[in-house]
Homo-oligomer: A and B are copies of this chain.
Amino acid sequence: MILDGKKVAAEIREKLRKSVAFNLANGLRVPKLVIVLVGHNPASEIYVANKIKACQEVGIDVEKIAFEEDIKERRLLTEIRKLNNDQSVDGFIVQLPLPEHISESKVLTTIDFRKDVDGLTPMSMGRAIQGLPAFRSATPAGIQELLNAYNISTEGKHVVVIGRSNIVGKPMAMMLMQRPYLSLPNMSASSMGDATVTVCHSKTRNLDAICRSADIIIVAAGSPKLLKAGMVKEGAVVIDVGINRVDDASSPRGYRLVGDVDFENVVSKASYITPVPGGVGPMTIAMLLMHTYVAYNGRVLGLKMK
């Protein structure tokens, strides 16, 4: 069965749209998200445009602040501190990657975790690990909500995560091994957890055998068709986080997008599987909106993180 991230994300957006409209009709302001974009990376510009469109759809006030490629690191950090202190801004993100002369970690550590709606700062991650209120990293959060929407429990399941990046693999593993807790006030779903989690990566031996023992496999390795049918237990749940461009002369763009899973051959073995595109991707953006709404709730309704 296909885990339809596009559909679930649309449902989340619709719920948010209604909440925002309801609050507005009752005299409250709308939530506000700021997106900081540095330079003109074409992929980043597409992502940002999609995020802006999604915000507009649900009625979130979204502002893009664009800086040229050559902005000084010090200047960018000053702008971030301004956003931290700007009472009209509920949440903000800095679109990654950044130009080489700007330290990504300095930027992330400067963002106040209370406005870190992408959940990528060290403070958000450390708080989440310890079970404290914090925004979850957007992609792992989207995967949790997607599993949740299909009533797929992770409790006691063996989950294998392939990849150990700061934005997917490591935070995903942490969320899955946690005792369940409500990570945010007024959150739609609690953070599911209680899974037995194995994290695999480029240094892993016996990847095939480890994957075959998994009830749920989450692949975030950035490697086309890494997960093959022979690595998947009959009935396993397969989540594909990869987005890879492969040449395709038959496509008008000259390429097509494929995930990290050999979808054509794995689909018949998996009980549930995400497509690429239309699986995890739309959920990630939906989480950004949800987190912005939660941040707004905290500020407007006093449901604050402490």
Contact = CB atoms under 8 A, between A and B. Distances in A.
Contacts of A205: 156, 158, 196
A127 B126 contact: yes
Main secondary structure of the interface of A (DSSP, over half): mixed
Q: How many copies are assembled? A: 2
Contact of A164 (B105, B109, B178, B198): B178
Contacts of A155: 203
A210 B196 CA distance: 10
In this complex, the interface size class of chain A, counting residues with CB under 8 Å from chain B, is 35 or more
Interface string A183-204: 0000000000011111111011
A34 interface: no
Given A125-B129, A129-B166, A158-B206, 10 more contacts: A122-B129, A122-B130, A123-B123, A126-B129, A129-B129, A155-B203, A170-B174, A196-B198, A197-B198, A198-B199
Interface in A19-45: none
A101 interface: no
Contacts of A206: 158
A74 interface: no
Contacts of A171: 129
A120 to B, nearest CB: 9
A132 interface: yes
A99 interface: no
A121 interface: yes
Interface in A221-269: none
Interface string A77-99: 00000000000000000000000
